[in-house]
Amino acid sequence: MNQEGGKLNLLQDQWLNNRLLHLEEHKMHIQAQMLELEKERFKWKRFQKKKDM
């Protein structure tokens, strides 16, 4: 493998690792949003239960 090919592979690996990190961060953000929505849902269910009594 020549020097250019090695450099290209390194750049591709760095790009892929950066993309993977970005996607993991995005996934964590979505999971945090899901948790907040779930908390709101339980809050409303509790409110509904009290209202029905």
Provide, for the chain, the percentages of residues in helix, strand and coil under a 3-state DSSP scheme, each rounded to the nearest 5. Answer: 95, 0, 5
Model confidence over 1-53: pLDDT tens digits? 578 888 999 999 999 999 999 999 999 999 999 999 999 999 999 988 887 87
Amino acid 53: pLDDT:
74
Closest CA to 31 of 43, 23, 20: 23
Amino acid 44: pLDDT:
94
Q: Determine the Cα–Cα distance for residues 16 and 45; give it in Å rounded to an integer.
A: 43
Amino acid 51: pLDDT:
78
Amino acid 4: pLDDT:
83
Local structure of 53: helix, strand or coil:
coil
